[in-house]
Amino acid sequence: MTARAKEPFRFRNRLTLAEVTGRKAFNINELLDGIKQADDEVIYYHTHRFIKQFHHLVPEGANDFAYWVTNTVQADRLGEELTAIDIVRYNSLADIRAAFTATIERHLAANPGPARTVAPGREFHFMRAVRFSLPTSCAASDYASFLDCLRAVNSSSLYLHVFEARLRPPYGVDDFSHWFKQEFGDEEVGREISRLDPYSYTLEGLRKRIIRIIEKRLGEAANA
């Protein structure tokens, strides 16, 4: 564990600007139409950004769609199904969109009656994210400096490297796991991190959990 990486891990940060598309939904049918026609940046905004913005809340909401269906439309069953869509298990925003579309279509097929329309002012607003990737001053070359960085970076950096990373090559793999495997041949860290999900922890809780995982690996090395 004292080995040094050839390629240091450079922590980056994710910021988003919120663009208002002007598209609105007053009922579940309109929500479905909007999701079907949404581009990737709209889907990103309502799924990934949502977790980041509310990362300190316990329990966290899952995504904007589920939150609106549950709390405003009050379609409890559909809200629960949308909440259960585990966005970090998908490798592309298109797949996430398809999952939401399929769930709502199933609901509408099973509930063909007139849709409940919400009052003006309580409609769903489709938004888009303009994403920025920023460097931070944190870079790690070994386990110890990686721990230092983990303690220093902000939560949106954690989110970027652990969850959003799975949407880009190598698909389905977070940046931390990839780095430990590439640089140190350590697959244990990856196994532990891949079991984390943003619904079970706040991002601060997540930080503590990852720190514990790395500390445990350091401890194992010391006792080996």
Helix or strand run (H / E) with residue 10: strand 9-25
Which residue type sits at 222?
Answer: A
Can residue 201 be called a binding residue for another protein (CB under 8 A)? no
Work out how close the CB of 134 gets to another protein at its nearest, in angstroms, rounded to a whole number.
5
Nearer to another protein, 144 or 152 (CB): 152
Distance CA(81)–CA(87), nearest Å, equals: 12
- Cβ–Cβ < 8 Å for 60, 199: yes
Can residue 130 be called a binding residue for another protein (CB under 8 A)? yes
Total of residues contacting another protein (CB under 8 A): 33
- Beta carbons within 10 angstroms of residue 16's beta carbon: 19
Nearer to another protein, 56 or 191 (CB): 56
Distance CA(224)–CA(217), nearest Å, equals: 10
Which among 97-105, 132-140, 169-177, 188-196 is the span making contact with another protein, rule CB under 8 A?
A: 132-140
Which residue type sits at 129?
Answer: A
The one-character DSSP state at 171 is: T
**Tokens 């769930």 appear where?**
103
Work out how close the CB of 19 gets to another protein at its nearest, in angstroms, rounded to a whole number.
5
- Cβ–Cβ < 8 Å for 163, 155: no
Work out how close the CB of 97 gets to another protein at its nearest, in angstroms, rounded to a whole number.
16
Site for another protein in 21-60 (CB under 8 A): 22, 41, 53-58
List the one residue from 8, 61, 170, 205 that touches another protein (CB under 8 A): 61
Which among 13-21, 89-97, 159-167, 216-224 is the span making contact with another protein, rule CB under 8 A?
A: 13-21
Work out how close the CB of 47 gets to another protein at its nearest, in angstroms, rounded to a whole number.
16
Report CA dihedral (144, 208, 60, 97) to the nearest 10 degrees: 30
Footprint on this chain of another protein (rule: CB under 8 A):
13, 15, 17-20, 22, 41, 53-58, 61, 71, 121, 125, 127-137, 152-154, 157
